[in-house]
Chain A
Amino acid sequence: DAGITQSPRYKITETGRQVTLMCHQTWSHSYMFWYRQDLGHGLRLIYYSAAADITDKGEVPDGYVVSRSKTENFPLTLESATRSQTSVYFCASSEDRDYGYTFGSGTRLTVV
């Protein structure tokens, strides 16, 4: 399917476990982003990538790891999940830095 897809849609994990959220886009967009959305905080940038093998930190990177070995994939890993990482995670992509972003459907993560 064309577009940007995230998986899983819902995930429950335990404190201390490692979990990976997947993001795949079919447009060959250069830029990809991970945001988390929490009540009272809005959308906050975790990490972003301008191209394969190029990643950079956003506003709230602690506790997260990203990689981008292929243009189309941008997985987000929580190395040791904490309750404070319970959130809705959105992946987005963009053809160019100055263009608007297209968002995936999101992953609702609950850490218990």
Chain B
Amino acid sequence: QKEVEQNSGPLSVPEGAIASLNCTYSDRGSQSFFWYRQYSGKSPELIMFIYSNGDKEDGRFTAQLNKASQYVSLLIRDSQPSDSATYLCAVLSGNTPLVFGKGTRLSVIA
């Protein structure tokens, strides 16, 4: 069973700070990694994906991947109250569809 682990939170950060969300995965052969944001009562929305080791930046978001440690993270710079949501990590391995973590709830305090 391929597993994706996230701390459920809540992770509370003050407005303007950096929020750091972490995810580990069990299948060493995993090749693609995705971050989704889900507001309460809404559907998941893709915000970042990363395939290669290192960092990938998109606006205030940075995804970091370390395949040797089987670790992927999402950094949100200059956090805003509108960033308050649950963040889902998802991993693609082999021929199977995305496996999702249970999500980390982020709360940005104004």
Residue positions of A touching B, CB distance < 8 A: 31, 33, 35, 40-45, 48, 58, 90, 97-98, 100-106
Contact = CB atoms under 8 A, between A and B. Distances in A.
A100 B34 contact: yes
B98 A101 contact: yes
A90 B43 contact: yes
B97 A48 contact: yes
12 contacts: A33-B97, A33-B98, A41-B102, A42-B100, A42-B101, A43-B44, A44-B100, A97-B92, A97-B95, A97-B97, A98-B32, A101-B46
A103 B101 contact: no
Contacts of B32: 98
Nearest to A44: B100
A45 B97 contact: yes
Interface residues of B, number: 20
B21 interface: no
A53 B84 CA distance: 40
B45 interface: yes
B100 A43 contact: yes
A91 B100 CA distance: 14
Interface in B77-110: 88, 92, 95, 97-103
B71 interface: no
B43 A103 contact: yes
Contacts of B61: none
Given A90-B44, A98-B32, A103-B44, 12 more contacts: A35-B100, A42-B103, A43-B44, A43-B100, A97-B92, A97-B95, A97-B97, A100-B34, A100-B36, A100-B49, A101-B98, A103-B43
Contacts of A31: 97
Contact of A42 (B34, B46, B88): B88
Contacts of B88: 42-43
